[in-house]
Each structure stands twice: as C-alpha cells, then as structure tokens.
Amino acid sequence: MQEEARESTVARALREALHSRDDRSLDTAASLLAADPGADAGLARRGREYVRTLWERGWQPADLARTVRRELAEEHLRLLGGLVRAETARYETLPRRWREQLDGLDDGAGGPPADRFSSATAALELYRLLVRLPRLDAVGPVPGEALPPAAAGEPRMLTRIRALLAKAEATGYPEEAEALTAKAQELMARHSLDEAGLAAGAPSPQAPGAIRIGVEPPYEQAKAILLDAVAGANHCRAVWNEAYGFSTVVGFEADLDPVELLYTSLLVQGTAAMTRAEAEQRKGGRKRTKSFRQSFLLAYANRLGARLEATSRRVAAEAPTLLPVLASREVAVSARTDELFPETRATRVRAMWDEDGWHHGATAAESATLSPDRARLDRRPRD
C-alpha cells in the first residue's frame, strides 16, 4: 500500500509537470516530490524508463548529452549522466560507440542541488525535455539487441591515423602540421581503397552504416560544411540536423571513424589558425569580429574540401581496377542516405562577409594542403 502511494506521488507530479510549460505547474509538482522522500526511487525509475524509450526512438548517449547541454544546465547534465549509466549498467555488452560515449558523460562532479525542492525541480525539467524529443533515424543497435562480432582492438591503420593527427594538433610548426595531416588523409584514402578491394571479393558485401557527430556552436554552419567536405572526400555523405546540433555521416564502417577523427583534428587546427590570424589583426589595430571568424571558417572548409578530394582522387587513380568497386560503394552510400533522409533540403549559407577573414581562412586551408612530402615530414624544425 505504501509503495502504491509513493508511485502515486510520482505519477501525480509527472502528470502536473510534464505536459505543461508554465512554472506554476512545475513548482507544484516539485513540491509534491520534495514532501515525499519515499518517492525518490520511483522518480529515478521513471527517468530510466524515459531514457530507455529514447534508445528505442533512435537516440544515443552523446545525442542526449548534447541536447541537454544546449537546452538546460550542468545540474541537468549530471542527472542525465546518472540515469544513462544506471540504465546501461543492466546490459552485459554495449555497442562499441556507446562505450566511448559513456566515457564522455558528466561524472557527477559538483554534487546534487542543495535541497529536495531544487533536486525535484531539476529532475522534472530534465524529464520534460526528454519526453518531448522526437524520433530519430536509428544509426546502430541499442543495448539488448544483437551486436556484430567485436573487432580485436583498433585497426592498425586507424591507430596510425590517430597518432598522426594528434601530432599535427600538438606541433607549433605549421609546416609540420601540414605534412602530418596530409599523410593522415593519404592513409585514410588508401585504407578505404584496401577495404573496397577486400569487399569486392566478399560473398556478402557489407552495407553502409552511419554515425552522428556533434556540430557545436558557435559557427556551426561553417563546421557542418567542413564535416561535409571531409565526409565527401572519404566516400561518405553528411546530413546536418541544425536543431539538435549534429550531422549524421553515412558510409561504410571502415570510413566512418577516420572521417570523425579527421574532422575533429581539422577543426582543432582551424581554430588554432583562426586564433593566430586574429592576433595578427589585433596587432594591426583591428578588433575581433564575428564576421571575421565566420568568413575564416567558411573559407577554410571550402578550400580544404577541394584539397581533400584531390588527394582521394589521386590515390584512387593508382588502383584503376578498383574504380568500379568504389563507384558501386558510393551508390550504396547515396541510396542508404536517401533511405534515412528522404526529405533533405539544401541550406543557404548565412554569414556576414569579411574579406580579411575569408583570405586568412583560405590561406590556412592551403597550409593544410594534402600532398605529402616525406622529406618535410621527417625533417625536424629547429628553434
């Protein structure tokens, strides 16, 4: 009887708060929960149910964390992290990318709100957001579903790409970063070519998959264009969801992780180059402007796309017998993209024009020219 009463408190509070947008309903529901400590377990259980429902509606841990970070506050992000960890702990195995996303969740630092009313309010605000999220197209299995055979460690080529890009981000010498990034893109292109060759002889060719990659503000449109350029140069397609801050990249499995690695690295390098360019502007007496940064990143993405594509074409031309295989895989990727997103539309670039920003962005992209020079790569800069 007591358990039913506690569940009734939770049900009444949720009915009061979740389907109303006014603060009065939220305060009333939080007061009900704050007055009944025995309802805490039922409230947490409801939260885990909402999370599980969202898994089945196409959402993944990183998607939820990104949305909560955009819409709410740190306390809600900590609460979400607890719910996600509690829900996923029920499963013996998780999809590989889910494990990586769980590692990136908030660890709960900072502690819960100081009083029961504030804690209940935070929970209800989070739940109100979760129950209103729409269905997304699934991009992989959810916990509890059958998983593909696990690979034994990270592919050697991916490890090499990761190491090259990490060095490119860390070096203080633009020419060395250029050579390291160029080598990484060439390795990506050759890796994709090797996988296409293996798939050509397989009895049942692998179907394209998909991943979501966060495209965070500010200047998210320019970042989405950069991701689209990286994806396109590596036999993938990217579809941007502006409302929820991510792009879905569709492609064969061997290409998806490298695309995410290269995009992330080029974004880091581009941001660093933009900061250096702004420092030069300040020396000349010019203030930093939003239009400068937007134009910089748009030019950077535009020019890099051409460079990346040129490298991929050059590598592919070295194996002309595989060109029909590559063409058929690109057709498969396009078909899968159209299946997932039958109603995509083009978006006009919304940016304030700044000639200096565009010039500096194009110059930064030229510095990342993807035509490897082994002698330059091996040469150590001197102080």
Q: Enumerate the domain spans of the chain.
A: 2-130, 156-377
Query: To the nearest 5 percent, what fractions of the chain are helix, strand and coil?
Result: 65, 5, 30
Q: Tell me, what's the pLDDT at 360?
A: 56
Who contacts 344 (Cβ-Cβ below 8 Å, separation ≥6)? 239, 337
Query: For residue 372, what pLDDT is reported?
Result: 35
What b/e readout covers 28-50, taking b as 16+ CB neighbours within 10 angstroms?
ebbbbbbebeebbebbbebbbeb
113 DSSP 8-state letter = -
The rounded distance, in Å, linking the Cα atoms of 305 and 300 is: 8
Stretches where the chain sits below pLDDT 50 are 1, 152, 203, 369-383
The whole-number pLDDT of residue 300 equals 84
Pair of tokens at residue 197: 């060759």
| Cα distances (Å, whole numbers) of residue 146 to 95, 98, 141, 149, 154 | 9, 14, 7, 9, 21
| Amino acid (1-letter code) at residue 213 | I
Distance CA 192, CA 105 (A): 31
By C-alpha distance, which of 107, 333, 348 is closest to 206?
Answer: 333
Distance CA 127, CA 58 (A): 17
